[in-house]
């Protein structure tokens, strides 16, 4: 899970796609954050956003959108590497997509693509 002073972010592989988990500053969310969450839910998921009991936000996105997530990380955020939380059962799936084991994660360099 990625941590920042105002939010935490994690991607968890599931059988039918990925679960994106966000923990925002308790009781506070900006209109820009709401727009971004809405965009992701509409364009990459099922259009639904789940608010947890602890004020967390969860979105489901489909597997086929992993390449788009890599492109966004590279082009829009200038990231050179992407890491995903991966249990034993999904590591082979990521290996087929060019990911390698990085500690508890699977990672892929996206800089030179």
Q: Which of 20, 16, 106, 99 is nearest to 62 (CA)?
A: 16
Q: What is the pLDDT of residue 6?
A: 56
Answer yes or no: do 88 and 112 share one domain: yes
In the structure, what pLDDT confidence band is assigned to residue 106 with cuts at 50, 70 and 90?
Answer: confident
Is there a single domain that holds both residue 69 and residue 56?
A: no
Give tens-digit pLDDT for 39-97. 888 888 889 999 888 778 888 888 778 778 788 778 877 778 888 777 777 788 888 88
Instruction: Supply the range of the domain harboring residue 26.
Output: 1-61
> How many beta carbons lie within 10 A of that of residue 60, not counting itself?
18
Amino acid 76: pLDDT? 72
In this structure, the answer to whether residues 49 and 36 fall within a common structural domain is yes
Is 2 in the same domain as 51?
yes
Predicted local distance difference test score (pLDDT) of residue 9: 64
Q: Which pLDDT score, from 0 to 100, does residue 112 have?
A: 60
Taking residue 86's Cβ as centre, other Cβ atoms within 10 Å add up to 22
Q: Are residues 8 and 26 in the same domain?
A: yes
Where helices occur in 10-81 by DSSP H, the ranges are: 31-44, 66-75
| 32 and 43 assigned to the same domain | yes
Residues 87 and 57 occupy one common structural domain: no
Are 49 and 85 in the same domain?
no
Same domain, 24 and 51: yes
- Written as six digits, the tokens of 6 are 């105002």
Instruction: Assess whether pLDDT exceeds 70 at residue 29.
Output: yes
Please tell me whether residues 50 and 69 are part of one structural domain. no
pTM here is 0.58
Q: How far apart are CA 90 and CA 106, in angstroms?
A: 10
Contact residues for 110 (Cβ-Cβ < 8 A; gap 6+): 70, 73, 74, 79, 80, 81, 82
Number of domains in the chain: 2
pLDDT given for residue 3 in this prediction: 45
């Amino acid at each position: 899970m990625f941590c920042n002073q105002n939010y935490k972010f994690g991607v968890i592989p599931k059988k039918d796609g990925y679960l994106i988990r966000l923990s925002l500053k308790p009781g506070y969310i900006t209109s820009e954050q709401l727009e971004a969450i809405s965009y992701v839910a509409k364009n990459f998921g099922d259009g639904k956003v789940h608010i947890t009991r602890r004020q967390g936000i969860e979105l489901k996105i489909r597997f086929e959108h992993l390449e788009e997530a890599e492109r966004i990380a590279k082009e829009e955020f200038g990231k050179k590497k992407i890491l995903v939380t991966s249990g034993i059962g999904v590591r082979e799936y990521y290996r087929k997509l060019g990911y390698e084991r990085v500690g508890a994660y699977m990672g892929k360099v996206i800089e030179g693509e």
